[in-house]
Structure 1
């Protein structure tokens, strides 16, 4: 059933979260001839909206937000900007929030970003609003195809772009990030829950010499929407700061999916890219890619070796195993951490220890019960330090994927260390899943 059109004389309701992008989107909407009514989320929205009508509402005052939107005559709503996942214990709810509590709880406990965003849509649409995206009301902010700024990509860069686009597409079913960094045909970084900026900073730190200098410039930041993603919400964004970060990491350029990536502060981005010699191009996201299936995650979760895990941890293990098998098709993937049906940390060619330890800041408060798993490649060696790191962030299990022809690597000493920390150590053979969907 088609969504009925909304008269253009009605204002668009802009749910504004953090950053300057909400203001830029609002300005684009006004340029397009429509009015904007802003609902700024308290403790998140920090942009200056000038003379636009604005009401500030706490995230837990959902009833007040709906009332304000209706009073302004809003039918179309758009959510833009950075938002941290709220905590229920901080809520000071109104009646509208309590009435929507089942959906709110889905938001607070959603596994990946896709599940969270589907829950946000479910908050507004049953109440008579139509959720729209940037492409619907501010399409001039989207990246178009072809060269935007900087020099032209080299032949090597083009190959890296194709590989990165295919990789992110293959990982899409597992709701893993919207970014990757590829250099000279090798995947060197994958975006997890930490976001693009931290992924780039991680590469910059890895590449820096003892004096802080970088080797020869190479590699491409790839940004694209995940296949099947609801493009009305959470489109990837690049801006001048992205260009600066890419330069610091010694990368050659940025390639992003045309029509599915927002370009913030376009003029500044182009000036900075030209100044630093960083190419920025829009490319077709419909590149051939290795197919991945969530059916594989379901099969993996039923593997006999996982039978002693809780049902939640088995789901996380299935998700992690399926994602790692997809990465192996790209000769990539060292380790990942999954919790609540969401991959929160993932590594390409760094150590499993590094992947696990950088998960720590996101896991404070998880320690009441062990939950979640780390899935690591059979190329990685278990060690007391790695197992202690997994225990320190409250994981329930470390799962080692053993490749064809390789011997099990868990020693009795490893098992004893795991037992000391209350951590299960499980080995599964990649060959067990060769006929899975």
Structure 2
């Protein structure tokens, strides 16, 4: 007899939909992933209208309305949920109106790092029988593959920069600073913080050309909340910065609009490669 897991449990799937294409991809591919019904909540100015159109039920909530989110899910039989899409990292330090349940949770959270807040939210949802599942569960077809994915291939010197970038990006991620590092000629040009990957690349491009961008998952990445992600905008930004290489962690990074993204990289002679932590430069 098959054992039910949160991923395979029958009933509707709850979707907490932020901005970008990931929530849209889930809705578009619901049938192929055996998802019968999606109950979605979204955020004004972030969530795509396509999510609302494709969900069996959709409601907008405020950023701090945890109680409302849980009520929507429990009232419609949701026992498993996934969190997809982006919200501004600055929201963790912004003045946001919180409902009573979120206020009580905020009083217990040890700090305002995104992982701390989101982990506490997952725990609060679990108290009402809702399990938050890995973001990649239903979108494995979007994960970057191992090896070079473009016609352009990193040079020997660029591979040296990639190996250094892997090591540094993992260290930065482990400190919950950022997951992207930019390297040029074995020197660190920029490290991502709250501004995000694209802004980090722009900053690095103002300092150096032919940069090598490395984006990795954190050593203790919680894939319920956050999966590194690249796409057309990333490559456009790197092209504008006259960058040369984009290396991402294989199997743990979403590659959106794969065909178009790699075509754009080829058009700008940018090498895109999937790498692993084992390829890091030795200390």
Compare relative contact order (CA 8 Å, sep 6+) and give the higher one, 1 or 2.
Answer: 2
CA distance, structure 1, for counterparts of residue 71 and residue 156 of structure 2: 55
Structure 1 contact 225–231 (Cα < 8 Å) conserved: no
CA distance, structure 2, for counterparts of residue 274 and residue 43 of structure 1: 33
Residue 221 of structure 1 is matched in structure 2 by: 213
Residue 166 of structure 1 is matched in structure 2 by: 167
Residue 54 of structure 2 is matched in structure 1 by: 51
Over 3 Å counting, the alpha-carbon distance change for 1:247 and 1:232 in structure 2 is same
Candidates 257, 260, 265, aligned match of 2:257: 265
Verify: 1:246 aligned to 2:259, yes or no: no
Verify: 1:276 aligned to 2:268, yes or no: yes
Aligned length: 275
Verify: 1:231 aligned to 2:223, yes or no: yes
Over 3 Å counting, the alpha-carbon distance change for 1:30 and 1:72 in structure 2 is farther
The CA RMSD over aligned residues, in Å, is 2.5
Over 3 Å counting, the alpha-carbon distance change for 1:103 and 1:278 in structure 2 is same
Residue 179 of structure 1 is matched in structure 2 by: 180
Over 3 Å counting, the alpha-carbon distance change for 1:221 and 1:65 in structure 2 is same
Tell me how far 1:117 sits from its aligned partner.
2.8
Question: C-alpha offsets along residues 345-378 of structure 1, whole Å, 9 cap, x if unaligned?
Answer: xxxxxxxxxxxxxxxxxxxxxxxxxxxxxxxxxx
Tell me how far 1:114 sits from its aligned partner.
2.6
Verify: 1:81 aligned to 2:73, yes or no: no
Matches within 5 A, 1:347-366: none
CA distance, structure 1, for counterparts of residue 172 and residue 196 of structure 2: 15
Q: What's the secondary structure of 2:277's corresponding residue?
A: coil
Greater C-alpha Rg: 1
Verify: 1:151 aligned to 2:152, yes or no: yes
Q: Which runs of 5+ in 2 are unaligned?
A: none
Tell me how far 1:61 sits from its aligned partner.
3.0
CA distance, structure 1, for counterparts of residue 5 and residue 156 of structure 2: 45
TM-score of the aligned structures, taking structure 2 as reference length: 0.87
TM-score of the aligned structures, taking structure 1 as reference length: 0.58
Over 3 Å counting, the alpha-carbon distance change for 1:89 and 1:270 in structure 2 is closer
Residue 66 of structure 1 is matched in structure 2 by: 70
Structure 2 contact 93–112 (Cα < 8 Å) conserved: no
Structure 2 contact 165–280 (Cα < 8 Å) conserved: no
Tell me how far 1:204 sits from its aligned partner.
2.1
Q: Which runs of 5+ in 1 are unaligned?
A: 208-216, 291-328, 330-437
Q: What's the secondary structure of 2:160's corresponding residue?
A: helix
Residue 372 of structure 1 is matched in structure 2 by: none
Question: C-alpha offsets along residues 102-145 of structure 1, whole Å, 9 cap, x if unaligned?
Answer: 323456x7343332332232232222111112222211111121
